[in-house]
Protein backbone atom coordinates (compact mmCIF):
# COMPACT_ATOMS: atom_id res chain seq x y z
CA UNK A 1 0.00 0.00 0.00
CA UNK A 2 0.97 3.60 -0.47
CA UNK A 3 0.00 5.53 2.64
CA UNK A 4 -0.11 9.26 3.40
CA UNK A 5 0.09 10.31 7.05
CA UNK A 6 -1.13 13.89 7.46
CA UNK A 7 -0.57 16.11 10.49
CA UNK A 8 -1.92 19.63 11.08
CA UNK A 9 1.01 20.40 13.40
CA UNK A 10 4.50 21.75 12.78
CA UNK A 11 6.67 18.69 12.09
CA UNK A 12 9.80 20.49 13.33
CA UNK A 13 8.41 20.90 16.87
CA UNK A 14 8.27 17.78 19.09
CA UNK A 15 4.73 16.78 20.02
CA UNK A 16 2.53 13.79 20.67
CA UNK A 17 0.76 13.69 17.30
CA UNK A 18 3.98 14.00 15.28
CA UNK A 19 5.65 11.32 17.41
CA UNK A 20 2.63 9.09 16.80
CA UNK A 21 2.91 9.63 13.05
CA UNK A 22 6.67 8.99 12.97
CA UNK A 23 6.29 5.69 14.80
CA UNK A 24 3.47 4.56 12.53
CA UNK A 25 5.54 5.51 9.47
CA UNK A 26 8.49 3.48 10.73
CA UNK A 27 6.37 0.43 11.50
CA UNK A 28 4.52 0.62 8.16
CA UNK A 29 7.80 0.77 6.28
CA UNK A 30 8.98 -2.28 8.22
CA UNK A 31 5.91 -4.04 6.82
CA UNK A 32 6.93 -3.08 3.27
CA UNK A 33 4.48 -0.24 2.67
CA UNK A 34 5.34 3.08 1.02
CA UNK A 35 4.78 6.02 3.36
CA UNK A 36 4.74 9.78 2.87
CA UNK A 37 4.12 12.44 5.52
CA UNK A 38 2.39 15.76 4.90
CA UNK A 39 2.74 18.50 7.50
CA UNK A 40 3.32 22.23 7.96
CA UNK A 41 6.94 22.99 8.76
CA UNK A 42 8.73 25.99 10.25
CA UNK A 43 12.20 24.80 9.19
CA UNK A 44 12.90 24.35 5.50
CA UNK A 45 15.97 22.20 6.25
CA UNK A 46 14.16 19.98 8.77
CA UNK A 47 15.06 16.29 8.53
CA UNK A 48 12.81 13.70 10.20
CA UNK A 49 14.24 11.25 12.76
CA UNK A 50 13.43 8.34 10.43
CA UNK A 51 14.05 7.77 6.73
CA UNK A 52 10.73 8.94 5.31
CA UNK A 53 9.75 11.56 2.74
CA UNK A 54 8.00 14.62 4.14
CA UNK A 55 5.96 17.06 2.09
CA UNK A 56 6.20 20.42 3.89
CA UNK A 57 2.88 22.11 3.22
CA UNK A 58 2.18 25.50 4.77
CA UNK A 59 3.93 27.71 7.31
CA UNK A 60 2.72 27.16 10.89
CA UNK A 61 1.70 29.86 13.34
CA UNK A 62 1.09 29.58 17.09
CA UNK A 63 -2.54 29.26 18.15
CA UNK A 64 -3.61 28.96 21.83
CA UNK A 65 -5.73 25.86 22.42
CA UNK A 66 -6.96 24.56 25.81
CA UNK A 67 -4.10 25.83 27.91
CA UNK A 68 -1.49 24.86 25.34
CA UNK A 69 -0.15 26.24 22.07
CA UNK A 70 -0.70 24.50 18.73
CA UNK A 71 1.49 25.33 15.75
CA UNK A 72 -0.73 24.90 12.71
CA UNK A 73 -1.04 26.43 9.26
CA UNK A 74 -4.00 28.77 8.81
CA UNK A 75 -3.31 29.40 5.14
CA UNK A 76 -6.22 29.07 2.73
CA UNK A 77 -3.85 28.70 -0.23
CA UNK A 78 -2.81 25.09 0.21
CA UNK A 79 -5.12 23.55 -2.38
CA UNK A 80 -2.83 23.71 -5.40
CA UNK A 81 0.10 22.05 -3.62
CA UNK A 82 -2.15 19.44 -1.98
CA UNK A 83 -3.84 18.55 -5.28
CA UNK A 84 -0.46 18.16 -6.98
CA UNK A 85 0.87 15.85 -4.24
CA UNK A 86 -2.28 13.71 -4.31
CA UNK A 87 -2.25 13.53 -8.12
CA UNK A 88 1.43 12.56 -8.22
CA UNK A 89 1.40 10.00 -5.41
CA UNK A 90 -2.00 8.32 -5.96
CA UNK A 91 -2.24 7.07 -2.39
CA UNK A 92 -4.26 4.02 -1.43
CA UNK A 93 -4.80 5.35 2.10
CA UNK A 94 -4.83 8.96 3.28
CA UNK A 95 -4.65 8.91 7.08
CA UNK A 96 -5.38 12.34 8.54
CA UNK A 97 -4.61 13.02 12.20
CA UNK A 98 -6.82 15.58 13.97
CA UNK A 99 -8.72 15.82 10.68
CA UNK A 100 -10.75 18.91 11.56
CA UNK A 101 -7.84 21.07 12.71
CA UNK A 102 -6.99 23.88 10.26
CA UNK A 103 -5.99 24.12 7.59
CA UNK A 104 -3.99 21.32 6.00
CA UNK A 105 -6.09 18.36 7.11
CA UNK A 106 -9.48 19.59 5.83
CA UNK A 107 -7.82 20.62 2.57
CA UNK A 108 -6.38 17.13 2.09
CA UNK A 109 -9.73 15.51 2.87
CA UNK A 110 -11.51 17.77 0.40
CA UNK A 111 -9.25 16.83 -2.50
CA UNK A 112 -8.46 13.20 -1.67
CA UNK A 113 -9.99 10.40 -3.74
CA UNK A 114 -8.25 7.67 -1.72
CA UNK A 115 -9.71 5.77 1.22
CA UNK A 116 -9.65 8.46 3.93
CA UNK A 117 -8.99 7.55 7.56
CA UNK A 118 -9.13 10.04 10.41
CA UNK A 119 -7.64 9.73 13.90
CA UNK A 120 -8.89 11.99 16.69
CA UNK A 121 -6.36 12.57 19.47
CA UNK A 122 -7.76 15.41 21.55
CA UNK A 123 -9.93 15.54 24.63
CA UNK A 124 -11.27 18.76 26.11
CA UNK A 125 -13.76 19.25 28.91
CA UNK A 126 -15.03 22.47 27.33
CA UNK A 127 -14.47 23.55 23.75
CA UNK A 128 -16.90 25.55 21.66
CA UNK A 129 -14.94 25.42 18.41
CA UNK A 130 -16.66 22.27 17.17
CA UNK A 131 -20.06 23.52 18.33
CA UNK A 132 -19.88 26.82 16.43
CA UNK A 133 -18.15 25.50 13.30
CA UNK A 134 -20.00 22.18 13.08
CA UNK A 135 -22.02 23.04 9.91
CA UNK A 136 -18.80 23.86 8.03
CA UNK A 137 -16.72 21.02 9.46
CA UNK A 138 -19.44 18.47 8.70
CA UNK A 139 -18.60 18.75 5.00
CA UNK A 140 -15.03 17.62 5.69
CA UNK A 141 -16.01 15.07 8.33
CA UNK A 142 -18.30 13.35 5.82
CA UNK A 143 -15.30 12.64 3.59
CA UNK A 144 -13.69 10.40 6.23
CA UNK A 145 -14.31 6.72 5.49
CA UNK A 146 -12.89 5.25 8.71
CA UNK A 147 -12.83 6.86 12.17
CA UNK A 148 -10.26 6.16 14.90
CA UNK A 149 -9.94 7.67 18.40
CA UNK A 150 -6.84 7.16 20.55
CA UNK A 151 -8.83 6.64 23.74
CA UNK A 152 -12.40 6.39 25.06
CA UNK A 153 -12.03 9.99 26.24
CA UNK A 154 -11.13 11.21 22.74
CA UNK A 155 -13.95 9.11 21.24
CA UNK A 156 -16.60 10.42 23.63
CA UNK A 157 -15.46 14.00 23.11
CA UNK A 158 -15.66 14.05 19.32
CA UNK A 159 -18.79 11.89 19.35
CA UNK A 160 -20.66 14.68 21.15
CA UNK A 161 -20.35 16.85 18.05
CA UNK A 162 -20.02 14.29 15.25
CA UNK A 163 -21.87 11.10 16.25
CA UNK A 164 -20.53 8.10 14.36
CA UNK A 165 -18.88 4.74 14.85
CA UNK A 166 -15.31 5.18 16.13
CA UNK A 167 -12.71 2.46 16.68
CA UNK A 168 -10.41 3.01 19.65
CA UNK A 169 -6.77 2.30 18.77
CA UNK A 170 -4.48 3.73 21.45
CA UNK A 171 -1.25 5.62 21.23
CA UNK A 172 1.84 3.47 21.51
CA UNK A 173 5.25 3.59 23.09
CA UNK A 174 8.62 2.04 22.35
CA UNK A 175 8.48 -0.46 25.19
CA UNK A 176 12.00 -1.79 24.67
CA UNK A 177 13.48 1.71 24.96
CA UNK A 178 12.24 2.07 28.53
CA UNK A 179 12.20 -1.56 29.67
CA UNK A 180 15.76 -2.45 28.61
CA UNK A 181 17.44 -3.86 31.77
CA UNK A 182 20.84 -2.61 30.59
CA UNK A 183 19.86 1.08 30.82
CA UNK A 184 22.32 2.86 33.09
CA UNK A 185 20.94 5.30 35.69
CA UNK A 186 22.34 8.80 35.73
CA UNK A 187 25.31 9.07 38.12
CA UNK A 188 24.02 12.34 39.59
CA UNK A 189 20.84 10.62 40.78
CA UNK A 190 22.10 7.12 41.45
CA UNK A 191 22.65 7.13 45.21
CA UNK A 192 21.10 5.47 48.23
CA UNK A 193 20.63 8.74 50.10
CA UNK A 194 17.67 9.93 47.98
CA UNK A 195 14.30 8.68 46.75
CA UNK A 196 13.59 10.30 43.39
CA UNK A 197 10.24 11.55 42.08
CA UNK A 198 10.22 12.13 38.31
CA UNK A 199 8.03 14.59 36.39
CA UNK A 200 8.19 14.66 32.57
CA UNK A 201 6.18 17.15 30.53
CA UNK A 202 5.82 20.59 29.04
CA UNK A 203 5.71 23.39 31.59
CA UNK A 204 2.25 24.73 30.91
CA UNK A 205 -0.78 25.11 33.14
CA UNK A 206 -2.61 21.93 32.20
CA UNK A 207 0.35 19.71 33.13
CA UNK A 208 -0.17 20.71 36.77
CA UNK A 209 3.47 21.04 37.81
CA UNK A 210 2.63 23.87 40.19
CA UNK A 211 0.55 21.47 42.30
CA UNK A 212 3.45 19.03 42.49
CA UNK A 213 5.75 21.87 43.57
CA UNK A 214 3.22 22.79 46.26
CA UNK A 215 3.02 19.16 47.39
CA UNK A 216 6.76 18.63 47.55
CA UNK A 217 7.41 20.56 50.82
CA UNK A 218 4.84 18.27 52.50
CA UNK A 219 6.62 15.25 51.02
CA UNK A 220 9.98 16.53 52.28
CA UNK A 221 8.68 16.85 55.82
CA UNK A 222 7.63 13.19 55.85
CA UNK A 223 10.45 11.90 53.64
CA UNK A 224 13.58 14.08 53.97
CA UNK A 225 15.33 11.84 51.45
CA UNK A 226 12.86 12.80 48.69
CA UNK A 227 14.19 14.54 45.58
CA UNK A 228 12.15 15.96 42.69
CA UNK A 229 13.52 15.70 39.15
CA UNK A 230 11.69 17.89 36.62
CA UNK A 231 12.23 17.12 32.93
CA UNK A 232 10.78 19.43 30.29
CA UNK A 233 10.67 22.94 28.96
CA UNK A 234 8.00 25.60 28.66
CA UNK A 235 7.08 29.20 29.20
CA UNK A 236 6.40 28.66 32.92
CA UNK A 237 9.83 27.24 33.73
CA UNK A 238 11.48 30.50 34.75
CA UNK A 239 8.67 31.33 37.15
CA UNK A 240 8.75 27.88 38.74
CA UNK A 241 12.50 27.99 39.20
CA UNK A 242 12.35 31.45 40.73
CA UNK A 243 9.64 30.35 43.17
CA UNK A 244 11.73 27.36 44.29
CA UNK A 245 14.83 29.55 44.66
CA UNK A 246 12.90 32.09 46.73
CA UNK A 247 11.50 29.37 49.00
CA UNK A 248 14.90 27.78 49.59
CA UNK A 249 13.37 24.33 49.10
CA UNK A 250 16.22 21.85 48.44
CA UNK A 251 16.42 18.86 46.13
CA UNK A 252 14.34 20.20 43.24
CA UNK A 253 16.25 19.82 39.97
CA UNK A 254 15.04 21.41 36.72
CA UNK A 255 16.73 19.45 33.93
CA UNK A 256 15.15 21.16 30.92
CA UNK A 257 14.78 19.41 27.59
CA UNK A 258 16.12 15.85 27.56
CA UNK A 259 16.93 13.90 24.40
CA UNK A 260 15.02 10.76 23.52
CA UNK A 261 18.20 8.76 24.09
CA UNK A 262 18.69 10.09 27.62
CA UNK A 263 15.08 10.08 28.81
CA UNK A 264 15.02 6.36 29.77
CA UNK A 265 18.05 6.99 32.01
CA UNK A 266 15.98 9.47 34.02
CA UNK A 267 13.29 6.83 34.44
CA UNK A 268 15.88 4.30 35.53
CA UNK A 269 17.13 6.82 38.12
CA UNK A 270 13.64 7.42 39.58
CA UNK A 271 11.58 5.58 42.19
CA UNK A 272 8.13 7.13 41.57
CA UNK A 273 6.65 8.87 38.53
CA UNK A 274 4.23 11.77 39.01
CA UNK A 275 1.80 13.25 36.47
CA UNK A 276 -0.38 15.92 38.17
CA UNK A 277 -2.16 17.14 35.01
CA UNK A 278 -5.36 19.11 35.53
CA UNK A 279 -7.23 17.92 32.42
CA UNK A 280 -7.37 18.03 28.62
CA UNK A 281 -5.39 14.77 28.44
CA UNK A 282 -6.88 12.21 26.07
CA UNK A 283 -4.26 9.57 26.83
CA UNK A 284 -1.32 9.04 29.18
CA UNK A 285 1.73 8.37 27.04
CA UNK A 286 4.09 9.57 29.78
CA UNK A 287 2.36 7.16 32.16
CA UNK A 288 2.93 4.22 29.83
CA UNK A 289 6.60 5.10 29.41
CA UNK A 290 7.00 5.18 33.18
CA UNK A 291 5.14 1.89 33.51
CA UNK A 292 7.39 0.28 30.89
CA UNK A 293 10.34 1.39 33.03
CA UNK A 294 8.79 -0.37 36.02
CA UNK A 295 7.89 2.78 37.96
CA UNK A 296 4.79 3.10 40.14
CA UNK A 297 2.68 6.07 39.06
CA UNK A 298 0.95 8.85 40.96
CA UNK A 299 -1.37 10.67 38.57
CA UNK A 300 -4.43 12.90 38.53
CA UNK A 301 -7.76 11.12 38.42
CA UNK A 302 -8.79 12.47 35.00
CA UNK A 303 -10.50 10.74 32.10
CA UNK A 304 -7.46 10.29 29.86
CA UNK A 305 -5.30 8.85 32.66
CA UNK A 306 -7.97 6.44 33.90
CA UNK A 307 -7.76 4.69 30.54
CA UNK A 308 -4.14 3.76 31.33
CA UNK A 309 -3.73 3.45 35.11
CA UNK A 310 -6.09 1.71 37.52
CA UNK A 311 -6.12 3.06 41.06
CA UNK A 312 -4.32 0.60 43.31
CA UNK A 313 -3.15 -1.39 40.31
CA UNK A 314 -0.27 0.27 38.47
CA UNK A 315 -0.33 3.34 40.68
CA UNK A 316 -2.48 5.80 42.60
CA UNK A 317 -4.97 8.28 41.16
CA UNK A 318 -5.59 11.48 43.11
CA UNK A 319 -7.93 14.44 42.91
CA UNK A 320 -6.61 17.05 40.43
CA UNK A 321 -5.35 20.34 41.90
CA UNK A 322 -5.09 18.89 45.42
CA UNK A 323 -1.46 19.21 46.63
CA UNK A 324 -2.17 17.55 49.99
CA UNK A 325 -3.71 14.42 48.48
CA UNK A 326 -0.94 14.33 45.91
CA UNK A 327 1.65 14.53 48.71
CA UNK A 328 0.01 11.68 50.66
CA UNK A 329 0.12 9.38 47.62
CA UNK A 330 3.77 10.19 46.94
CA UNK A 331 4.72 9.64 50.59
CA UNK A 332 2.98 6.27 50.61
CA UNK A 333 4.94 5.00 47.60
CA UNK A 334 8.24 6.48 48.73
CA UNK A 335 7.92 4.80 52.12
CA UNK A 336 6.35 1.50 51.07
CA UNK A 337 8.92 0.10 48.68
CA UNK A 338 7.21 -3.28 48.35
CA UNK A 339 3.95 -1.63 47.28
CA UNK A 340 5.80 0.53 44.77
CA UNK A 341 7.67 -2.48 43.37
CA UNK A 342 4.47 -4.52 42.94
CA UNK A 343 2.70 -1.63 41.20
CA UNK A 344 5.72 -1.10 38.98
CA UNK A 345 5.73 -4.75 37.94
CA UNK A 346 2.01 -4.65 37.06
CA UNK A 347 2.65 -1.51 35.06
CA UNK A 348 5.50 -3.16 33.18
CA UNK A 349 3.25 -6.07 32.20
CA UNK A 350 0.42 -3.78 31.09
CA UNK A 351 2.64 -1.50 29.02
CA UNK A 352 3.63 -4.40 26.73
CA UNK A 353 0.16 -4.20 25.15
CA UNK A 354 0.94 -0.69 23.88
CA UNK A 355 4.13 -1.34 21.95
CA UNK A 356 4.16 0.47 18.60
CA UNK A 357 4.45 -2.79 16.67
CA UNK A 358 1.12 -3.97 18.13
CA UNK A 359 -0.54 -0.58 17.60
CA UNK A 360 0.62 -0.40 13.96
CA UNK A 361 -0.75 -3.88 13.29
CA UNK A 362 -4.14 -2.76 14.57
CA UNK A 363 -4.07 0.33 12.34
CA UNK A 364 -3.16 -1.75 9.28
CA UNK A 365 -6.02 -4.14 10.04
CA UNK A 366 -8.30 -1.11 10.26
CA UNK A 367 -7.10 0.07 6.84
CA UNK A 368 -7.91 -3.32 5.34
CA UNK A 369 -11.36 -3.48 6.93
CA UNK A 370 -12.20 0.06 5.85
CA UNK A 371 -10.95 -0.51 2.31
CA UNK A 372 -12.98 -3.73 2.02
CA UNK A 373 -16.09 -1.86 3.15
CA UNK A 374 -15.61 1.34 1.15
CA UNK A 375 -14.27 0.32 -2.26
CA UNK A 376 -17.25 -1.82 -3.40
CA UNK A 377 -19.58 1.09 -2.60
CA UNK A 378 -17.37 3.48 -4.53
CA UNK A 379 -17.21 1.16 -7.53
CA UNK A 380 -21.00 0.89 -7.47
CA UNK A 381 -21.31 4.69 -7.22
CA UNK A 382 -18.90 5.15 -10.13
CA UNK A 383 -20.83 2.60 -12.17
CA UNK A 384 -24.09 4.37 -11.38
CA UNK A 385 -22.66 7.72 -12.43
CA UNK A 386 -21.42 6.11 -15.64
CA UNK A 387 -24.87 4.71 -16.39
CA UNK A 388 -26.48 8.09 -15.69
CA UNK A 389 -24.03 9.82 -18.05
CA UNK A 390 -24.77 7.28 -20.80
CA UNK A 391 -28.50 7.71 -20.29
CA UNK A 392 -28.10 11.47 -20.45
CA UNK A 393 -26.14 11.24 -23.71
CA UNK A 394 -28.75 8.91 -25.21
CA UNK A 395 -31.62 11.17 -24.19
CA UNK A 396 -29.79 14.20 -25.57
CA UNK A 397 -29.38 12.46 -28.92
CA UNK A 398 -33.10 11.67 -28.96
CA UNK A 399 -34.02 15.27 -28.08
CA UNK A 400 -31.73 16.63 -30.81
CA UNK A 401 -33.23 14.29 -33.41
CA UNK A 402 -36.75 15.26 -32.44
CA UNK A 403 -35.78 18.93 -32.66
CA UNK A 404 -34.88 18.45 -36.30
Convert the pLDDT of each residue in 337-385 to its tens digit: 999 999 999 999 999 999 999 999 999 999 999 999 987 767 655 555 5
* pLDDT at res. 325: 98
pLDDT greater than 80 at residue 124: no
pLDDT band at 128 (very low <50, low <70, confident <90, very high): low
pLDDT band at 16 (very low <50, low <70, confident <90, very high): confident
pLDDT greater than 60 at residue 127: no
* pLDDT at res. 387: 67
171-209 pLDDT tens trace = 999 999 999 999 999 999 999 899 999 999 989 998 999
What are the residue ranges spanned by the domains of the chain?
2-172, 175-354
* pLDDT at res. 126: 56
Q: Do 364 and 31 contact (CB within 8 A), yes or no?
A: yes
Superfamily of domain 175-354: Glycogen Phosphorylase B; (3.40.50.2000)
At the topology level, CATH places domain 2-172 in Rossmann fold (3.40.50)
- The separation between CA 155 and the C-alpha centre of its own chain, rounded to angstroms, equals 13
Q: How far is CA 378 from CA 63, 251, 385, in A?
A: 37, 63, 10
**What mean pLDDT is predicted for residues 295-309?**
94
pLDDT band at 134 (very low <50, low <70, confident <90, very high): confident
Share of the chain above pLDDT 90, in %: 80
**What mean pLDDT is predicted for residues 378-401?**
66
- State how beta strands 195-200 and 226-231 pair: parallel
Domains 2-172 and 175-354 in one fold: yes
In SS3 terms, 90-131 reads as CCCEEEEECCCCCCHHHHHHHHCCCEEEEEECCCCCCCCHHH
Amino acid sequence: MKIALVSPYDCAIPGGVMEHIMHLAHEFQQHGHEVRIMSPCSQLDYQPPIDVQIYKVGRPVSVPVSGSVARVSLSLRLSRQVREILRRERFDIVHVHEPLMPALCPTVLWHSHAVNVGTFHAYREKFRGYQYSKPLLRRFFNRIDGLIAVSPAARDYVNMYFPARYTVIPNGIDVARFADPDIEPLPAYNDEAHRNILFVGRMEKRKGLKYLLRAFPIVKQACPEARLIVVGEGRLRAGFQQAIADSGLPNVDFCGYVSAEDLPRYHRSAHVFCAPATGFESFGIVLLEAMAAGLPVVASDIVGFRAVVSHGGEGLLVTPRDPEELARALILLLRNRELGASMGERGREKSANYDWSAVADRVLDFYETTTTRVLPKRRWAVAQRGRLRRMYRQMRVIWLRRGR
